[in-house]
Amino acid sequence: MPRAIPLLVVLLFARGAQAQPQAPTCDAPEWKQFDFWVGDWDLTYGDGGKGRNRITKILGSCVILEEFAGAPGTTLDGKSFSTFDRNARRWKQTWVDNTGSYLDFTGGMDGDRMILSRDAERDGRRFQQRMIFTDIKAQSLTWLWQRSDDNGASWKTLWEIEYKRVK
């Protein structure tokens, strides 16, 4: 029995010394679909509301971090994390903020728009929510927050934000 232990140790070390499988990278075209959003943005919405959004790629460019800050006097600050789920072949985003909200979205590119949506329930009523990144240009885009109470047959825009890239 004493001779078996050193042999087992040698086999384990030899196995560990073999090249580890290469981790998948996040440089496929799918991971670049959200690159239009990366950067620093000035935001305007509603009746003169203003904010700032900083979007960066983190964790080996596998995750997009959003850091939203409302203008002074605005109570909403939040962050989102977005990544392309290679198994589901969809984008997934999680939003959290200083009001205790947690929202989870899935979606992807639909033509020239990025659409992320979720099913929700409040007070026993089910509905859908979605955000649409549209009118995407190098220096600007429009973001829409919408709700559907009829399983996606019709959508109502509840919040529209105009993004202008910070110079």
Contacts of 165 (CB under 8 A, 6+ apart): 39, 40, 41, 42, 138, 139, 140
For every residue of 13-32, which 3-state class applies, written as one string?
Answer: HHHHHCCCCCCCCCCCHHHH
Confidence (pLDDT) at 70: 78
Structure token pair of residue 64: 């997009």
Does the model's pTM come out above 0.95? no
Give the count of beta carbons closer than 10 Å to the beta carbon of residue 57.
18
Confidence (pLDDT) at 83: 97
Taking 50 as the threshold, does the pLDDT of residue 157 lie above it? Answer: yes
- Say which DSSP state 7 is in: H
Taking 90 as the threshold, does the pLDDT of residue 11 lie above it? Answer: no
Task: Report domain extents, the chain.
Answer: 26-165
Over residues 123-135, mean pLDDT: 96
Confidence (pLDDT) at 79: 97
For 26-165, the fitting CATH number among 3.40.1360.10, 3.40.50.720, 3.30.300.10, 2.40.128.20 is 2.40.128.20
The SS3 call for residue 48 is coil
Over residues 37-61, mean pLDDT: 93
